[in-house]
Amino acid sequence: MTQTLRLTTFLLGGVLSGSYAQLLRRDTDTVIMGSGYRYQVYYQLRSGRQDTVPRCSWHLAFEVPIRGAAIRANHPCGVTVYKTTRDTSGWDELSLEDTVQALYDDLCRWEKGAFNTTAGSSAFDVGWGIYNLADHITRGDSLYIIRIGENFKKLWIQRLQGSNYFIRVANPDGSQDTSYAVPKTAAGGKNFVYLNLNTHQVIDLEPPPSNWDLLFTQYSKFITPSGDPNNPILYSLTGVLMNSGVRAVRVRLTAQANPDTLSPNAYVLDSCISVIGDDWKRFSGGAWSLADTLYFLVQDRAQNLWRLRFIGFEGSATGRAMLEKALLQEGSSSIATPLGEQIAIYPQPVREGIYVVVPERIITHIEFVTLTGQTILRGSFRGGEAIYIPRPAGLESGIYLMRIATPTGSWSRRVIFD
Beta strand spans in 23-74 (E): 25-32, 39-43, 50-54, 60-63, 71-73
CA–CA separation, 179 vs 202, rounded Å?
13
Question: Residue 415: is its pLDDT beyond 50?
Answer: yes
pLDDT attached to residue 411: 72
Q: Phi-psi region for residue 34, left (φ > 0), alpha (ψ -120 to 50) or beta? A: left
Question: Residue 3: is its pLDDT beyond 60?
Answer: no
Domains and CATH numbers, the chain: 3-16+332-417 (2.60.40.3080), 25-50+211-329 (no CATH), 60-204 (no CATH)
What is the tens place of the pLDDT at every residue in 300-332? 998 899 999 999 999 999 999 999 999 998 875
What is the tens place of the pLDDT at every residue in 83-118? 999 999 999 999 999 999 999 999 999 999 999 999
The amino acid at residue 288 is W
What is the tens place of the pLDDT at every residue in 27-63? 899 999 999 999 999 999 998 999 999 999 999 999 9
pLDDT attached to residue 405: 74
Q: Which residue has the higher pLDDT, 212 or 226?
A: 212
The amino acid at residue 49 is R
What's the predicted TM-score (pTM) here? 0.75
Beta strands at 375-382 and 3-4: parallel, antiparallel or unpaired: parallel
Beta strand spans in 330-392 (E): 333-336, 342-346, 353-357, 363-370, 375-382, 386-390
The string of DSSP codes covering 124-149 is TB-SSEEE-TTT--EEE---EEEEET
pLDDT attached to residue 72: 98
Percent of the chain with pLDDT over 90: 62
pLDDT attached to residue 21: 42
Lowest mean pLDDT among 5-9, 389-393, 405-409: 5-9
Band of pLDDT at residue 297, cut at 50, 70 and 90: very high
Q: Phi-psi region for residue 409, left (φ > 0), alpha (ψ -120 to 50) or beta? A: left
